[in-house]
Amino acid sequence: MAGSFKVTRISEGAVKPAAATPEDTLPLAWVDRYPTHRGLVESMHIFHSGADAAPGVIRDALAKALVFFYPLAGRIVEPEAGSPAIRCTADGVYFAEATADCSLEDVRFLERPLLLPKEDLVPYPGDDRWGVEPHNTIMMMQITKFTCGGFVMGLRFNHASADGMGAAQFINAVGDMARGLPEPRVKPVWDREKFPNPSIKPGPLPELPVLALDYIVLDFPTGYIDSLKAEYKAHSGKFCSGFDVLTAKLWQCRTRALGLEPGATVKLCFFASVRHLLKLDRGYYGNSIFPVKMSAPSEKVLGSSLVEVVDMIRQAKDRMAVEFFQFAKEETAQDPFQMTFNYESIYVSDWSKLGFADVDYGFGPPMFAGPLVNNDFIASVVILKAPLPLDGTRMLASCVTKDHSDEFVRGMKEDLP
């Protein structure tokens, strides 16, 4: 079945800003320059209608949006080793148009396992078509038209140029232009110098184990999440987020599934925005994130109630502000972004409120917008808005091996309605 449908690329090339833009070389912030951010993050954005008009509308809107976000039409350069910057060349963004000989329904709206290779849905130009190395390319986009009116936008966005919120800000600006607005509702602000620039050097790149992780999709209705949040409110008298309760449940169920010794250390990490701590302008679109890390003996995670695990997560969030300012003031010599990837550690990424689900090119919001993540070396989970018409939150989990997946899924689903 996976090979029975075909995607054909029908055009490709650079989309340049629609008007003249400055020719600067802009320095990146400390966090932008972090070695692990120098790469293209892949995502897929599925729309139910608008296929015939979408390529032309989005191409034109992209050119207009790049006038405002002109650094994204440039290239990453490294005039000095270890200090990459963006050269504003106005060379443009790689843009491809493709057609699929099937409907989105034929390929199950691209639910996993994919019935089309992901390389057909996100742009992978040959060297003869795009001479810039991926780590120096800022963005690539592909619009694939399906029969019956649906289309998919495949996006590759360099993490050095923007974090998830910043990338979504730009894509929403493209939507604003597509709907005829004269300028983006949120205007871009560079201001990279406002992010701390301590002399702390990034630690060495971590070793990556091969874990052969299962890919698991879990959906949680809004009513279920609200009931967990209400339990926490009754327990503490305080409010918590849906992310807090789902991440607590994830950490507990995964720890149980792993069957570790009671004293074994389990770790949880996610990245939080620090825009509020730095009082950055709403239009800031660079990386503005900091890791929230926690560790505990497995027996503590398993011996606590769910709301007590939520307490642990919220306490770690509170500590993060202190740790961030220690980093900013060079009161710590250790690189806080240094990670350890082993099977006892899990990394969670929250895409639910970045703004990708709100993008509208004139055809309505996407049915689904999320990353194309499936690796065998980092136990990770992405939390995002469930695809329409579902109501609630979806987890994309690559965090347990086949030996532990049944127990993990059973725990995650045991009290679902």
Quick one: 246 and 381 in the same domain?
yes
Between the two ends of the chain, the Cα-to-Cα distance in Å is: 33
Quick one: 252 and 366 in the same domain?
yes
pLDDT tens for each residue of 298-317 = 999 999 999 999 999 999 99
Quick one: 18 and 91 in the same domain?
yes
pLDDT tens for each residue of 312-347 = 999 999 999 999 999 999 999 889 999 888 999 999
In a domain, 373, yes or no: yes
In a domain, 407, yes or no: yes
Q: Which residue has the higher pLDDT, 206 or 15?
A: 15
Q: Which of 159-163, 240-244, 386-390 is the least confident region?
A: 386-390
In a domain, 245, yes or no: yes
pLDDT at 205: 77
pLDDT at 341: 86
In a domain, 194, yes or no: no
Residues tagged active-site: 159, 360
Is the pLDDT at 3 greater than 60? The verdict is: no
Residue 12's identity, in one-letter code, is E
Quick one: 224 and 127 in the same domain?
no
Write the DSSP assignment of 288-335 as a string of letters: -EEEEEEEEEHHHHHHS-HHHHHHHHHHHHHHHHHHHHHHHTT---S-
Quick one: 13 and 59 in the same domain?
yes
Quick one: 278 and 395 in the same domain?
yes
pLDDT at 57: 98
Q: Tokens representing 398? A: 């690559």
Determine the structural domain holding residue 336 and report its residue range. 216-413
* Percent over 70 (pLDDT), the chain: 99
pTM, whole model, 2 decimals? 0.94
Is the pLDDT at 373 greater than 90? The verdict is: no
Torsion, Cα 32 33 38 44, to 10 degrees, reads 0
Please provide the average confidence, as pLDDT, over all residues in the chain: 94
In a domain, 205, yes or no: no
Quick one: 316 and 260 in the same domain?
yes
DSSP character at residue 37: G
Q: Tokens representing 201? A: 């050097």
| Backbone φ and ψ of 16, nearest 5° | -100, 160
Is the pLDDT at 374 greater than 70? The verdict is: no
pLDDT at 79: 86
Quick one: 119 and 221 in the same domain?
no
| Backbone φ and ψ of 123, nearest 5° | -75, 130
In a domain, 41, yes or no: yes
Quick one: 133 and 271 in the same domain?
no
DSSP character at residue 182: S
* Burial classification of residue 282, based on how many CB atoms lie within 10 Å of its CB (0-12 exposed, 13-18 middle, 19 or more buried): exposed
pLDDT tens for each residue of 263-296 = 999 999 999 999 999 999 999 999 999 999 999 9
**All residues at 6 or more sequence positions from 61 whose CB lies less than 8 Å from its CB, including other chains:** 174, 175, 176, 177, 178, 361
CATH code at 46? 3.30.559.10
Quick one: 22 and 148 in the same domain?
yes
Q: Which of 35-49, 351-365, 367-381 is the least confident region?
A: 367-381
Ramachandran assignment for 108, one of left (phi > 0), alpha (psi -120 to 50 degrees), beta (any other): left
DSSP character at residue 362: S
Q: For the beta carbon of residue 22, count every other beta carbon within 10 angstroms.
A: 9
pLDDT confidence tier of residue 1, bands split at 50, 70 and 90: very low
In a domain, 204, yes or no: no
Q: Of 145, 169, 188, which residue sits at a domain end?
A: 188
Is the pLDDT at 376 greater than 80? The verdict is: no
What is the tally of structural domains in the chain? Answer: 2
d(CA 415, CA 417): 6
* Percent over 90 (pLDDT), the chain: 88
Q: Of 173, 188, 203, which residue sits at a domain end?
A: 188
Q: Of 142, 171, 188, which residue sits at a domain end?
A: 188
Which DSSP helix (H) or strand (E) runs through 144?
strand 139-147
Residue 317's identity, in one-letter code, is K
pLDDT tens for each residue of 49-93 = 999 999 999 999 999 999 999 999 999 999 888 889 999 999 999
d(CA 21, CA 89): 9
In a domain, 148, yes or no: yes
Is the pLDDT at 23 greater than 70? The verdict is: yes
Residue 154's identity, in one-letter code, is G
Quick one: 298 and 220 in the same domain?
yes
pLDDT at 100: 97
pLDDT tens for each residue of 150-195 = 999 999 999 999 999 999 999 999 999 999 999 999 999 999 999 9
Quick one: 144 and 286 in the same domain?
no
